[in-house]
């Protein structure tokens, strides 16, 4: 049943959002339970249509392992392998934490947090305070049809002056999109111009060695409001 699959994927995704120590400089401790949750999420994401398409595309480009177990290992390395966000620090970060969960640096700065589901859940728990948006040209304010927003918010007592995020898309769409761009490019910072429906976007993906450092969309046609 499609709805049951969708629910189990959402549950697998949401279960990861509380697995991280958000402060950089503090070593992450990955428990056996969290490793199981990471693997359950990857199994669920690999079963989605969008990730199957991404895998097929990457196979044509000779950038992915054909065997699903090998491809899953490749994804684990890209997204979940811990690294030090600053040289010399202990392993305190990973791509998934930065992009989908969010981090803080020295109690002064918000890093990442580019996922609308995490934003929604944190706002529901009164952890996030939404401060405003940057509107697109010919549009005075966002509406229910907007799927990419540049927003300002506070989280854990800190303000993020501007952060871009997709709104209403599935986590597997973002996961697949960022994975494809990461594997297609070799430079440290990739700026890939794409058109998704009516949106002119620049997809920004930064690598941290063999891992994702950050990934987010930037609206190219915006006007401040």
Radius of gyration of the chain (CA): 17
With CA atoms as reference, report the closest residue to 212 among 127, 137, 130, 114. Answer: 114
pLDDT tens, residue by residue, 23-54: 766 667 778 888 899 999 999 999 999 999 99
Annotated catalytic sites, by residue?
Answer: 98, 114, 160
Stretches where the chain sits below pLDDT 50 are 3, 222-225
77-102 pLDDT, tens per residue? 999 998 887 755 777 788 898 899 88
Contacts of 50 (CB under 8 A, 6+ apart): 170, 172, 173, 176
Q: State how far the Cα of 74 lies from the Cα of 38, in Å rounded to an integer.
A: 13
161/108 Cα distance (integer angstroms): 12
Distance from C-alpha of 18 to C-alpha of 149, rounded to nearest angstrom: 24
Closest CA to 111 of 38, 206, 202, 199: 206
């Amino acid at each position: 049943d499609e709805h049951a699959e969708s629910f189990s994927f959402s549950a697998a995704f949401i279960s990861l959002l509380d697995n991280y120590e958000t402060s950089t400089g503090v070593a992450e401790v990955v428990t056996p339970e969290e490793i199981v949750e990471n693997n359950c999420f990857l199994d669920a994401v690999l079963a989605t249509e969008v990730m199957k398409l991404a895998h097929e595309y990457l196979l044509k480009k000779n950038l992915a392992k054909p065997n699903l177990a090998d491809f899953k290992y490749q994804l684990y390395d890209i997204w979940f392998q811990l690294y030090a966000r600053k040289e010399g620090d202990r392993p305190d970060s990973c791509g998934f934490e930065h992009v989908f969960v969010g981090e803080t640096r020295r109690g002064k700065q918000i890093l990442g947090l580019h996922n609308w589901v995490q934003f929604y859940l944190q706002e529901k728990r009164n952890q996030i305070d939404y401060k405003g948006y940057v509107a697109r040209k010919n549009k005075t304010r966002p509406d229910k049809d907007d799927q990419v927003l540049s927003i300002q918010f506070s989280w854990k007592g800190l303000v993020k002056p501007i952060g871009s995020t997709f709104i209403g898309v599935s986590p597997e769409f973002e996961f697949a999109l960022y994975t494809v761009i990461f594997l297609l490019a070799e430079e440290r910072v990739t700026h890939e111009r794409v058109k998704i429906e009516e949106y002119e976007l620049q997809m920004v993906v930064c690598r941290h060695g063999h891992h994702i450092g950050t990934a987010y969309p930037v609206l190219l046609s915006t006007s401040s409001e």
